[in-house]
């Protein structure tokens, strides 16, 4: 792996991207590798990146950024032979955590020299590519409010969640999968091909990212007195132990909100409004990712 491309969003997050670029450049030069950088602009990034990859030969492409940058690079490389690496620079970094990728920049760069390639599934959610998680309901609302606000960081997210929780009204959903149908009220409904949110909440503890299936993880409405217990279970891989949770395993699902033509959805951290029904399907083993070698 000699020719490496690092895709970065120069204006996202609080990390000094210039210093990260210097570290990447010097580390690669010291080991005889060529590091090139591609900066996103927020305008037509996917098409432009795909064209760049067609015109330049690389041995791997690294997403150096947060969930949005990872989604962009994964989408560009989906169903391709070229592998993706991740240098986690975001506040969540959910996919890299699920794959066991070090959260330190220098340690993540070691994947250039010591790695294995893991083929993982990806999702299509209402016509949008998803490399990690999507959801409807409470978390989708918070992600939307978070994107609208000017404050970043975990503290701001928690404050928004507490504010919205006090007035949040669960909706009724109907999820028709290739194996079963569920209908009922839900606090939130997560479409998961992975285990963990970037906040370390384990929403899907038994997940495998390469089995050609995903899970619809439902948290049903619960009394305020049950909230601490549910939160504890989510942080200790006890999702299935709650009486307010259930999981539907499937290869595809159609989700509707009776009486609603549009629904709020977040996909890999991006807030969206999608028409119903929201159709979800899986692309089995469609993305090659550099991960730490097996011990």
Domain coordinates of the chain in residue numbers? 3-114, 128-283
| Distance, CA of 70 to CA of 7 (rounded, Å) | 9
Element (DSSP H or E) covering residue 27:
helix 17-30
pLDDT number for residue 74: 98
User: Which of 276, 245, 280 minimizes the C-alpha distance to 258?
Assistant: 276
pLDDT number for residue 200: 85
Q: Do the beta carbons of residue 69 and residue 94 sit within 8 Å?
A: no
pLDDT number for residue 13: 62
pLDDT number for residue 105: 93
pLDDT number for residue 283: 97
pLDDT number for residue 244: 96
Q: How far is CA 231 from CA 139, 172, 226, 241, in A?
A: 14, 22, 9, 12
Question: Which three-class secondary structure state does DSSP give residue 60?
Answer: strand
Specify the pairing of strand 84-88 against strand 60-65: parallel
pLDDT number for residue 149: 75
Q: What string of pLDDT tens digits covers the 295 residues of the chain? A: 899 999 998 876 667 788 999 999 999 999 999 999 999 998 999 999 999 999 999 999 999 998 899 999 999 999 999 999 999 998 788 899 999 999 999 999 999 999 999 999 999 999 999 999 999 999 999 999 888 876 666 667 788 888 889 899 999 999 999 999 999 999 999 999 999 987 789 999 988 999 999 999 999 999 999 999 999 999 999 999 999 999 999 999 999 999 999 999 999 989 999 999 999 999 999 999 999 998 6
For domain 128-283, say whether CATH 2.60.200.40 is its number: yes
pLDDT number for residue 208: 92
Provide the whole-model pTM: 0.92
| Distance, CA of 105 to CA of 89 (rounded, Å) | 8
- Provide the CATH number for the domain formed by 3-114 in this structure: 3.40.50.10330
């Amino acid at each position: 792996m000699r020719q490496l491309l690092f895709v970065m969003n120069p204006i996202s997050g609080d990390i000094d991207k210039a210093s990260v670029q210097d570290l990447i450049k010097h580390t690669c030069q010291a080991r005889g590798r060529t590091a090139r950088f591609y900066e996103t602009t927020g305008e037509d990034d996917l098409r432009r990146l795909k064209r760049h990859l067609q015109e330049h030969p690389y041995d791997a492409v690294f997403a150096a950024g947060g969930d949005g940058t990872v989604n962009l690079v994964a989408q560009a490389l989906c169903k391709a032979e070229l592998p993706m690496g991740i240098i986690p620079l975001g506040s969540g970094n959910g996919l890299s955590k699920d794959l066991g990728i070090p959260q330190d920049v220098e340690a993540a760069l070691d994947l250039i020299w010591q790695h294995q390639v893991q083929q993982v599934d990806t999702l299509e959610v209402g016509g949008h590519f998803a490399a990690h998680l999507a959801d409807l309901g409470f978390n989708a609302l918070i992600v939307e409010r978070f994107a609208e606000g000017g404050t970043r960081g975990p503290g701001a997210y928690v404050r928004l969640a507490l504010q919205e929780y006090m007035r949040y009204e669960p909706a009724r959903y109907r999820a028709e999968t290739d194996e079963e149908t569920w209908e009922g009220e839900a606090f939130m409904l997560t479409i998961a091909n992975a285990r963990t949110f970037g906040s370390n909440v384990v929403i899907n503890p038994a997940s495998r990212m390469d089995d050609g299936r995903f899970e619809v993880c439902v948290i049903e409405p619960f009394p305020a007195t049950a909230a601490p217990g549910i939160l504890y279970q989510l942080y200790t891989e006890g999702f299935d132990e709650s009486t307010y949770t259930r999981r539907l395993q499937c290869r595809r699902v159609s989700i509707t909100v009776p009486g609603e033509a549009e629904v709020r959805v977040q996909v890999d951290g991006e807030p969206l409004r999608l028409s119903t029904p929201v159709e979800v399907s899986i692309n089995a083993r469609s993305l090659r990712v550099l991960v730490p070698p097996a011990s």
